[in-house]
Structure 1
Amino acid sequence: MLAHLIEFATNHYVLSGIFAVLLAALIFTELSKGGASLSTRELTALVNRDEGIVLDVRSHKDFATGHIVDALNIPHDKVIERVAELEKHKAKTIIVVDALGQHAGTISRELKKLGFNAAKLSGGISSWRGENLPLVK
């Protein structure tokens, strides 16, 4: 299988090159859609300086199993209709957290359209757990 792929790529180098460029462009645009992606260290620094607030967009059930200290919980499908709850935090960076990062980019982009400074936690709450950082239940 791999030998066929290599043979195809060498025989059709123009097509392979175009595919590689298009794939790179797709990855770049998808990564840039959700705005800034923060590490756990950057999230902690923003929150400790009182320049950021954590918005956990997981379901209430998942939130109850463990969340970042002082995180607000608004499920991802309710954020836009409950955006008024975030108005008092407009001067801070809203750091969107979900399970793995699948919804955080979309929510972050929507919040930016509404005038908020938003970013997402890279890797979601699983990256937080992966670094053995504290969770509140």
Structure 2
Amino acid sequence: MDFLTENWILILMAVTSGALLMFPTLQKGAGGISTNDAVQLINHKKGVLVDVGEPGEFAAGHAIGARNIPFGQLPDAKGLPGNKTVPVVLLCPSGARAGRAAALLRKAGYESAVAVSGGTRAWREANLPVEKSA
């Protein structure tokens, strides 16, 4: 016990260091998948691409082939695949809503619901096809 009280600064530094080393791992797990991984899911596993942005955001620019199901309409949406084992790849302009949508869909039984890290912005930066709606 004396060791703990005499060396509390060293122990605090060790705990802080460990927490900082774990932070990127925890953040990456919550952040979603890369655009390359998303394309692999879509092309090889027949994944369904869903943009959970609002209709105006979707019209301003979205990944080609994406279905628009706004986040607020997601729980009772008819545009989701009936087979809950099919990968659902989620996008939104920044990736934040897509992450929440992925968690919501996983709770609803969609085993492979994942968000694209960085959203539509990352999709564009990866030079993947984007289109605008009228």
TM-score by length of 1: 0.74
How far did 1:67 drift?
A: 0.8
What is residue 99 of structure 2 aligned with on the other side?
105
State the identity as a percent: 29
Question: CA RMSD for the aligned pairs?
Answer: 2.4
Kindly indicate whether the alpha-carbon contact (under 8 Å) linking 1:98 and 1:104 is maintained by their aligned counterparts in 2.
yes
Runs of 4+ in structure 1 over 6 Å off? none
- Which residues of structure 1 form unaligned runs of 5+? 1-10
Which amino acid counterpart does residue 82 of structure 2 have in structure 1?
K
The equivalent residue for 1:118 is 113
> Cα offset for 1:125?
0.9
Deviates more, 1:120-129 or 1:86-95: 86-95
Residue 75 of structure 1 pairs with residue 79 of structure 2: no
Count of residue pairs the alignment pairs up = 124
Deviation, structure 1 residue 106? 1.7
Change (3 A) 1:103 1:16: farther
Equivalent position amino acid for 1:62 in 2:
E
Judge conservation of contact 1:33–1:106 (CA < 8 Å) in 2.
no
Q: Who is 2:61 aligned against?
A: 66
2:129 corresponds to 1:130: no
**CA gap 1:49/1:22 in 2 versus in 1, 3 angstroms:** closer
**CA distances 1:101-126 after superposition (whole Å, capped 9, x unpaired):** 21222211111111112111121111
Aligned counterparts of 1:132 and 1:63: Cα–Cα separation in 2: 18
Check the 8 A contact 1:53/1:89 in 2, yes or no. Answer: no
- Give the TM-score normalised by the residue count of structure 2: 0.76
Q: Which runs of 5+ in 2 are unaligned?
A: 1-7
